[in-house]
Each structure stands twice: as C-alpha cells, then as structure tokens.
Structure 1
Amino acid sequence: MSFVTKIKNQAQEKYNQIMKKKNEQYQEMNEENRGQENKQQENKMDQEKVIDEQPKNDDSAPNKPEEKPRQGTISYIKTNLTAAGDYLSNKVVEAQKTVTLQLQKVDISVKQAILKQKQSFNKWIALKIDQRISRSLKQMETKISLSVQKAVPSSCCFDFVNDAVLSLWTDASNLIRFELRVSIDEPIITLSKRPDKIRWLKPWYRLRNWILYSLYPFDVEPGKQLRSPSFLFIKLLQVIPFYGIQVFTFLIIFLAIDKTEEYQVVNYILDYKNIQFFTAGVLNALIGFFSYFYCATLKPAHDFINEKDQGLKLNYCFSHGPGAESHLILSQISYFTQVILIWCAFAVLHKTKSRADFISNEIKRQESIKRGGRLTGFMIYDLICFVGTCSLTGYIYYNYYYKKEDTFYMLPYVGNLIYFSHLMYGFLSLPFVIFVVPFFVRMFTSAIPTAYDQYGNVVPCINQMKLNYEELPLEQQDEIDIEEALEN
C-alpha cells in the first residue's frame, strides 16, 4: 500500500467519524426542536398565504436577500457537513501534491545516485580490464625479446634492436589501452559556436575556419573529403613548388592552426615534410630529367638538323639546364622559409597540450616520452640533412665557382647547383613518408589525433565522444546586425 493511499484512507475515516457525530447531534436536535420547527412551518405557511393574496408586481418588487439557515436546522447541518467535506478534500489534494513533489525529488536523487554508482562502477571495470591487459602485454615482452635474440644473433646489435622493438611495443600497448578506455568512458566535450569575438578580425576567422575544416574535418570521412573541392584546391596549392606558392600556403596554415594543441603541431610538421619529399624530391627530379633531356639531346639535334649551328651545342645545358633559368633569390627565400617554418613549429611543440589528456592521463605512460614522442629524433636527422646539403653546396661553390673571374657567366652554374641541393634535401625527407599512415603517427609521436569543427574548435577524433554546443549571448554593441544575430 502506497503512502498516498494511506493518507486517503485516514482522511476517509476521519470524514466518517465527523458524519457520525453530526448525525447524532442531528437526532438530538431533531427531538428537542420538533415543536419549534412545526411552529415555524405554520408561521411560514401563514406568510405564504398572505403573500399569495397580495398583488404580484415582479418589476417593482426588490430582490430579497437569501435567508441563511438558522443554527440547529437541517440545512445548517448539511452546510457544515459540505464545508467539512470540501476542507478534507482540499487537504487530501494538497497532501497528494506534496507527496508527488517529494517522490519526484527522491526519484531525481535516486537517479543521480545510480548514475554516479554506474560511472564509478564503469571506471572500476575499466581499471581492472586495463590492469589485466597491461599484465598480459607486459608478459609478451619476454617472448618478444626471445624472438629478437633469435633474429639478431649478434650481441653488439641485440641491445639496440631489442630496446627499439620493446619501445615500439610499449607504444602499441598504450594505444590499445587508450582505445579501450575511450570505448568505456564515452567522454563529453562542451564547445562554443563563436569562440572568436574580435570584430575586425572576422574575415580572418572565416578564412581560418574554412581552411582548417577543409583540411582537417572531424566529422567527414576520408573518401568524402577527397571529393571536396575546397580540400582539393588547398592540396593543389600545397604541391606547387614554384613562385613561393607552396611556402605561402603553409605559412597561412601555420598561422591558422591551434599551436597549443600537440597533434596539430606534429601533424603540420609531418604533413610539410611528406609533401616536401614528393615536390622538392620526386617532382623536381622529373622536371630536372626532362629539362636535361631537352637541353642535352633535343635542342642540339634540332639546331644541327636545321643547320643553325654546324656543331652540337654541348654547352647549351650550362645556360638552360635544370635550375639555370629559375629565379635564384626567390628560390632561396622559399627554401629557407620552409625550413624556418618547420623548426618554428617544432620549437612550440614542447609547450603544447593534448585535447584528449583527460583520458590519456589516466593511463600510465613512460616518463621519458615527451611532447612529440620520437619526432625529436626525426628532426635531428632533418637538421643533419639540411646542414649536410648546405655544406656540400658551399664546398662545391667555393672550389668550382667562387675563384672564377667571370662571375656573371657562372650564375647559371650556381642555379644548377642550388637546384641539385634542393633536390638532394627533398629526397633525404624519405623517412618522413611513413607518417602518411596515421597508425605510425600515433605510434612514433604518442599524439592523439584531433581535428576541427566548422567553428574552428579543436576536437579529439574519438568515435564514442559526444559534443555539446552552448550558445553564447550577444554582446552589447552600438550597432547590431539583425541578419547576423538571426543566423547565429
């Protein structure tokens, strides 16, 4: 029996008791006042006869006030009983409403308590599963070491290879544990639709959001992104190494990305180095090959057949070969600018944070892993390649060009030499090509992938994550754009 039913039953019993007492009083008063009632009825009948004998005039007759029942009469008792019944019914309704509100509060508190217990239980389960998986993965290290020992019998190389393989295995283990934790926790992130409020920078914010959402959208599949015109247009600008187009495009991207987020800075460096291999390396090699084929074979043969020159122009490639006709100053500015951009991005990497640290912090990671992971080793390799190519170029220039008296005549040779230097540095970026596969980015850099929404917010690329957008109130302004306010 519920609480409301008990209250109704108690109210009904109380009402029955009151009715019983009233009936007893009524019987006593009826016996005592029977004679008085008879006299009153006789007087009333006499008054009615007198009224009937008088002429009726409804228009002139005033409205008589209703007579109140006298104390002790039946109508008086009925009126009191009705009032008591109304009073009790009102009290019952009020009690029912109070009980309903209390039950709702109890229901909300119970739901919150159950939700907290569920969350704590899920965390407990995740912790137990994580510990079990961690122990299992730890036990695999001994088997991996035995396999490495069989594959590398040399004792001098065993320690190096074993440490490298175990380090990669640790990164893979952390990746598995992270994906498991994300699938259990189901994180929720609250973002704003208008994070930028500086009015005079509004065109730049729109351009920034368009560039970032076109290149790195968090809610667009790769197959659909490859069919996006904006994505293809920006990628086309990134692969044009002429007239500084590529460098200017990456400069705009560097200004647009969130330089406080770890993965965005890492991805910028790797993306630039990947494209540098294909443009400064492969593309320049093809251009240089066809340019040399034209100047060394087609052009002299054409001139000899048409008798423009009785002898083959063997020195035609000196002035029209690969890099000879390029603008030296613009070429060098573009070359050094791209190196500066990459190292500026690497310089701010140690100050970055990951947007998914609220999950990854719960997973025990190696203390030696810093921001960017093993990207530092790749950057040291890139620095060695850059210094090596510059040193080789300077050595060749000093020994073969600088001592010549006719420096103007030697300018085409310098263009060929610089072209060769850029080509060699581009091919030396080959180790960065492995980062085209996202798995190796996670493995070697320990950076959790992030992307951008249409408002320019950095969002972790987690399938189970839920996004909530909060509306920001309009700021007080002298002039308010109604259309803009309605759109937002």
Structure 2
Amino acid sequence: MSKKEKSGFLPLEEEKSMDKKSVSKSKDVTPRNVGQTPKSQGMFGGFKNSISSYIKKKIETKIMQFLRDQKPKVQDKIRDKAMPQCVQNFMDDIVEENWPILEEEVQYQLRIRTDVPFVEVKKPDVSCFCWPCWKIRSLFQYSLMPYDKSLGQKIRNPIFLLGFLAMLCPIYGVSSFYFILLFLIIDKSDEYQLINFILEFKRLQFFSIGVIGGTIGFYMYFKCVEENTHLSLSIQQNCYQYGPSMLIHPRIDLIAFGINILLVWITLIFLPFSEQKGKLRFKNAEIEEQKESERKEKERQKRLKKREKLQKKIETELEKLEKEGKVAKFEDLAEKYKMKQFDDLDEEAKKQQGCCSFQRGGGMKCLIIWDILAFGLAFLFFYNGFRLENKQTFEDAKGHIYFTKWIYAMLSFPFLLFSVPLVSSLLSRARPTAYDMYGNTVPVIGQVEYDDDLMDDIDDDLEEEGVLNDNDTQPGTNTNRNN
C-alpha cells in the first residue's frame, strides 16, 4: 500500500480507480481528498507546510475582512437618495440579509482552493436480514444520482437510461410510478435531496405531462376531428374512442396522480427535520474550528459555574432577609447581581435541544402554497366536467382526467424557474448532494473545480527566494499553532 493510501487522503484520479475496486474492506470511515494531493515531506517539508498554512489563513482573514468593510460602501452605492426613506431602508435590509450569504460563499470557495477538502465514505454496518434491501437501494441511488460521475458516464448505465425514459413517459402513469420509487430511495434527512425531489418532479411534470402530453393530446384531438369526415361516427364518439382518452387508464392514472401530489406535500413535512449534508469538510479549517469550539465550551462552563455561585449567593441572602422579616424577591436580587448577562446561556441550550428548523427549505414553502392553489384550480375543472356534464363513471370522464393532469402540469411553471442554478439559491442555501456506492449522502464532486492549489506559486516563490531554507527565519507561535 502506498503512502497516500495509508494517509487516508486520495487524489481525485486514484479515488476514481479505487471506487471500481473497494475503498476499504473495513467498516471505518475513510476520508477522501477531493481536490489536492498531500504535500511531499522532505527535510523542510513540515516547515514549508506550516508557513503555507499560516499564509493561507492570513489571506483568508484579509479577504473576509475586506468583504466586511465593503458592505457599507455597497449599501451606499445602491441607495437612491431621491427615493422615499422606506424604500432606502428596504434596500439596506436586502443587503444586510444577503451579505452573510455572500461572505459564506466566498469563504467556502476560497477554502476549496487553499485548504484540503475531503468527503467521508462510510460502509454501513448492515445486518444479513437487511442486506438485500440496502444493496438494491444503494444500487439505484448510485446509478441514478452518483456523486462522482459526469453526464457522459451516467448515460452508459442502463439503470440511469431506464429511469430517464420513465421520467419522460406521460402515459399510463409511468412517470408517476417512477417518482414513487425515487421518493422511497432518496435520503429524507438531507435538505437538498428533498428540495431536489420536489423541483425534479415538478420540472418533469411540466415537460412530460404538460408540454409532451399537451402536444400529443392536441394532435389526437385534431386527428379525430379530421378523420370524422371519413367515418360514420359522430365527432364526440370518434374523439371519445380515438382521442387522448384512449391513453388513459382511469384508476391507474388517478391513483398514481394522487399519490404523487401527496408525496410532494409529504416531502415538505420532512424539510424542517432535515440537515445540510452538501458542504465539503476542510482539514485545516476543522482543526481550527475544533479548537475554537473547545475554547467556547470552556468559557461556557466557567460562566455556568459563575452563575451557579451567584444563584447560591442570592438564595443565601434571601434566607437572611426572611429571617429578618423583610420581603424580597429573587428577581430584585438578580438585578443587583447582574444575572441578565447569563441569559444567553439558556438561549444556547434551547438551540441545542431543537429537533427541527422551520427555516429549512426557504422559499419552497411559498411554492407549495402555489401548488395547492394549482391543484384546486385543476380539481374545479374536473368537477365541472364530471358533475355538470352528467358523467356517471371515471371511464366516461377519461378525457377530463387527461386534461386535468395537463392543467395541473402547466401550472408547475414557477417551479421550472427555480430550477435555474442561480435562481435556485433563492429557495435554499443547501448545497448539492448525491450518493456514493454505499448509499451515503455526500457532496457532489462535480460541483468542485479541481484547479491547482492557489498557494503553490507562493510556496515556489518563497522557496526560490530562500525564505524556507533560511534558518534565521522563525515563524514563532504561528507555526506551532498551525501544526
């Protein structure tokens, strides 16, 4: 085994070749480097890496500070002083609300190029009884939504091709049953997978049932009316037998159609309980964050002990006042001892205890409200045709079922707009995820640009100038901190 494999971090090329074999026969977590190869460790390798890490951290700090300084300038530039004050305040609020998102995105993209991004591939510990179901599910997950394959590689997989064709088939409920299968295999604890399921269903519904189904329906109605001149049947009888209704199986289509509508609404229920699994992890950043979290936890424990001491002191003083016959409340003494400074400790505890967040999904909740209204409009059309035209059975209303589905599909157009990559960020900040060969939900490797490390040129320049070989140069505590 090579040194790179022992270290647990694999370059992208070696990673893809390992996928075809076996990443690890053990069931432990295997971290995988997705963007960089480990630095060579020569005589001055460790010292060079320390200097490089220190410079990268300084650059990130300077860039983030520069962004924070630009926020007031941006607010001043976009503010139109000729507009009413309420409009100016509204523009300021928009910048204030979206600026942290910009900072987070810049920091994330910067770390992809300057840090060591990696994903974890974990082989689940599955019992023999559950192994067949897990194997089938992970096979479909990795075939339909692989995390490390391009479109050209996907279409070579027959399972992906069959799924793609099933999505586009608007007749006999084929596309509907495909999305039922898709709902069963996706990770319902990941925010992106839930949002992507809704958007993908609505996008394909618009094209397959709306555009393709509408075109087929229009052509078949046109054909049945034209052919009526050559037949003894009336236009109504001819279009009933040879129109779009001949593509409808009432029970199957209604059941599949109803189940898919419910699946979209059920998916919305899962959103508050989901989490974001699409962020790459960064080796150096995690070390710093772990140190920072340990420092904050120590500080929190100190404050908790201090609050307990003050509470005991207040209780002791209350007992003395009661013995003296004086009336006093805990709140009065709490103000005296400035207990309000510890209120944030209770807020942090409540945040840690929370099992869900209604901020998950973002603007998707508004689109679901639109979807409910669209369903109401489509149902009114069906009710008008079924009851007011004295239809006795669903078999008699096959044409109305066909066009009810078409109306509902065409009203899915707003979901299509939010499928555009830049616009989709308005719905949610969840980053794209897919599945590895074990069915784990991991970040999509295709979303990462595998450029060379931005700091390689800086390292080479430092080495050429002799800075790294100068024994008099001492980084001091900064080098030790990054080690």
TM above 0.5: yes
SS in 1 for 2:392: coil
Q: Identify the match of residue 337 of structure 1 among 228, 239, 259.
A: 259
8 Å Cα contact 1:213-1:453 kept in structure 2: yes
Provide the residue aligned with 2:64 in structure 1. 130
Preserved CA contact (<8 Å) 2:190 2:276? yes
2:230 maps to which residue? 302
Between the two structures, name the one with larger relative contact order (CA 8 Å, sep ≥ 6): 2
Q: Aligned letter for 1:448?
A: R
Superposition pairs for residues 18-37 of structure 1, below 5 Å?
Answer: none
Q: Does 1:347 align with 2:269?
A: yes
Contact 1:319 1:413 in 2 (8 A): no
* Contact 1:212 1:256 survives alignment (8 Å): yes
1:203 aligns with 2:132: yes
Deviation at 1:145, TM superposition (A): 4.4
1:79-105 superposed Cα distances (whole Å, 9 cap, x missing partner): xxxxxxxxxxxxxxxxxxxxxxxxxxx
Change (3 A) 1:328 1:160: farther
Matches within 5 A, 1:109-148: 119=53, 122-137=56-71, 139-146=73-80
Give how far 1:288 is off: 0.7
Q: Residue 407 of structure 2 corresponds to which residue in structure 1?
A: 424
Distance 1:184-1:325 versus aligned 2 partners, 3 A rule: closer
Assess if the C-alpha contact under 8 Å between 1:451 and 1:461 holds in 2: yes
Query: What code does the residue aligned with 1:269 have?
Result: I
User: What TM-score, normalized by structure 1, do the two folds share?
Assistant: 0.59
Aligned to 1:322: 244
Residue deviations 1:364-409 (CA, integer Å, cap 9, x gap): xxx99921222222222112211222234324433x23xx4x736x
Deviates more, 1:326-335 or 1:440-449: 440-449
Aligned mates of 1:162, 1:202 — CA distance in 2: 55
CA separation in 2, counterparts of 1:281 and 1:165?
Answer: 38
Shift, 1:314, TM fit: 5.1
Q: Tell me, yes or no, if the aligned pair for 2:75 and 2:95 is still in contact at 8 Å.
A: no
C-alpha separation in 2, matches of 1:154 and 1:383: 37
Contact 1:324–1:414 under 8 Å retained in 2: no
Q: CA deviation at 1:165?
A: 8.7
User: Could you tell me whether the CA contact under 8 Å between 1:389 and 1:421 is conserved in 2?
Assistant: yes
| 2:168–2:175 Cα contact (<8 Å) kept | yes
For residue 217 of structure 1, the aligned residue among 125, 133, 146 is 146
Q: Deviations over 1:265-324 (max 9, x none)?
A: 2111111111111112112101211210121112x1222xxxxx3x86454224543236
- Aligned residue for 1:375? 364
Flag structure 2 segments of 5+ consecutive residues without an equivalent. Answer: 1-40, 290-350, 352-356, 451-483
Per the alignment, in what secondary structure is the counterpart of residue 191 of structure 1? strand
Q: Can you list the C-alpha shifts for 1:198-257, whole angstroms capped at 9, x where unaligned?
A: 212222222222222222222212343344433222111222233332222222222212
SS at match of 1:459: strand
> Which residue of the partner structure matches residue 393 of structure 1?
382
1:136–1:335 Cα change, 3 Å: same
Match of 2:198 in 1: 269
The structure-2 alpha-carbon separation of the partners of 1:313 and 1:442, relative to structure 1 and needing over 3 Å to count, comes to closer
For residues 178-202 of structure 1, the C-alpha deviation after alignment (integer angstroms, 9 at most, x for no partner) is 322333332333332x214121222
Amino acid in the other structure paired with 2:77: K
Q: Which amino acid aligns with 1:187?
A: P
How far apart are residue 435 of structure 1 and its match? Answer: 4.1
1:293 alignment counterpart: 222
Pairwise CA RMSD of aligned residues?
A: 4.0
Structure 1 counterpart of 2:124, which letter?
P
Deviation at 1:425, TM superposition (A): 0.6
Q: Flag structure 1 segments of 5+ consecutive residues without an equivalent.
A: 1-106, 304-308, 466-488
Aligned to 1:188: 118
**3-state DSSP class of the match of 1:199?**
coil
Correspondence for 2:210: 281
In 1, Cα distance between equivalents of 2:412 and 2:381: 17
| Letter in structure 2 aligned against 1:438 | P
Whichever of the two has the greater Rg, that structure is 1
Secondary structure at 2:178 match in 1: helix
Flag the 1:313–1:358 CA change in 2: closer, same or farther, 3 A: closer
**CA, structure 1 residues 335+290, in 2 after alignment: closer, same or farther (shift >3 Å)?**
same
Distance in 2, Cα, partners of 1:412 & 1:154:
61
Measured in 2, the distance between the counterparts of 1:228 and 1:282 equals 27
- Cα separation, 2, equivalents of 1:190 and 1:313: 64
Relative to structure 1, is the Cα distance of residues 412 and 459 closer, same or farther in structure 2, using a 3 angstrom cutoff? closer
- Structure 1 CA distance for aligned equivalents of residues 205 and 420 of structure 2: 16
Identity of aligned residues (%): 29
Q: Give the aligned residue type for 1:191.
A: V
Distance 1:415 1:165 in 2: 52
Residue 325 of structure 1 and its aligned partner are, at CA, apart by 5.9
1:457 aligns with 2:391: no
Compute the displacement of 1:351 (Å).
0.9
With over 3 angstroms needed to count, the CA separation of the structure-2 counterparts of 1:436 and 1:255, relative to structure 1, is: same
Aligned length: 338
Do the aligned partners of residues 314 and 255 (structure 1) sit closer, same or farther apart at CA in structure 2, a change above 3 Å counting?
Answer: closer
Partners of 2:396 and 2:84 lie apart in 1 by 48
